[in-house]
Amino acid sequence: MNTIWASITSADLGRLADVAVSLQEAGADGIHVDVADGVFVPDLTFGHRTIRALTDVVHIPVEAHLMVSTPEEQLRAAADAGASRVAFHCESTRYPARVASVARNLGVTAGMALNPVSELAALGYLTEGLDFINLLTTEPDLAGERMLEMMAERVRRARAVFGTRLEIQVDGDLSSSNIGPLAQAGARHFVVGRALVNQPDPSAALAALRAAARDVNDEAVQPNFG
């Protein structure tokens, strides 16, 4: 079963609550919040107060993508604000197993995000302490953050290495025109921003995304919302 997570980074901030509700009504499986600190990545976005504002108005899951230099300092705030899934970056901490353990002890579904430059081997021994991996398919390139080449092959290698032990999420410049190969390669969770959030008809956009990402194998990984 494939799931579509609506990333609200590109949303109209003056209407954020209304946008989130409209995405829920359109049928999004969850809301994805990029928590960026302006240090680990060159942008400064949201924090736990935004997560709380969203969980107060929607009943679908809200996940926090911690694009921060000290994820262990943000985990509890995200969990207390109502996030049911949290992904942190392996590149941001010297002790990723500890961070994953903290996340699980807080009762959230724990994921690790990898930038495109990071090798899948960075996960190493961590697979038993994680529920999913978030493979970034773009970099903050100042040119619209377009999907990099060979991302479907990267997903395919991840699926070959980890089998069904970890769910695979992909994140970055996804649209109905490029989501199909990623689904065929084994991704099951899709974080979609502009191609969904900024569309005049989110329901139609979601339908197009789901059609393009339709499961191609009868043994699809079932989603874990935490």
10 Å CB burial of residue 144 (0-12, 13-18, 19+) is exposed
* Of the candidates 32, 40, 13, the residue with the CA atom closest to the CA atom of residue 171: 32
Whether pLDDT at 219 is above 50: no
Q: Which class would CATH give 3-212?
A: alpha beta
User: Which pLDDT does position 220 carry in this prediction?
Assistant: 43
Q: 3 falls in which pLDDT band (50, 70, 90)?
A: very high
DSSP states along 60-119: S-EEEEEESS-GGGTHHHHHHTT-SEEEEEGGG-S-HHHHHHHHHHTT-EEEEEE-TTS-
Rounded-to-integer distance, Cα 92 and Cα 113, Å? 10
Catalytic residue among 37, 131, 171, 173: 171
Task: Note the Cα 148 to chain centre separation in Å.
Answer: 17
User: Which pLDDT does position 172 carry in this prediction?
Assistant: 93
Least confident of 29-33, 91-95, 175-179: 91-95
User: Which pLDDT does position 20 carry in this prediction?
Assistant: 97
- Spell out a b/e string for 32-64, using b for 16 or more CB atoms within 10 Å of the CB, else e: bbbbbbeebbeeebbbbebbbbbbeebebbbbb
Instruction: Judge whether 171 counts as a catalytic residue.
Output: yes
Residue 144 or residue 84, greater confidence: 84
Whether pLDDT at 224 is above 70: no
Residue-wise pLDDT tens digits, 101-160 = 999 999 999 999 999 999 998 887 787 889 999 999 999 765 567 899 999 999 999 999
Catalytic residue among 34, 37, 131, 173: 34
Q: Would you kindly state where each structural domain of the chain is located, as residue ranges?
A: 3-212
- pTM value? 0.92
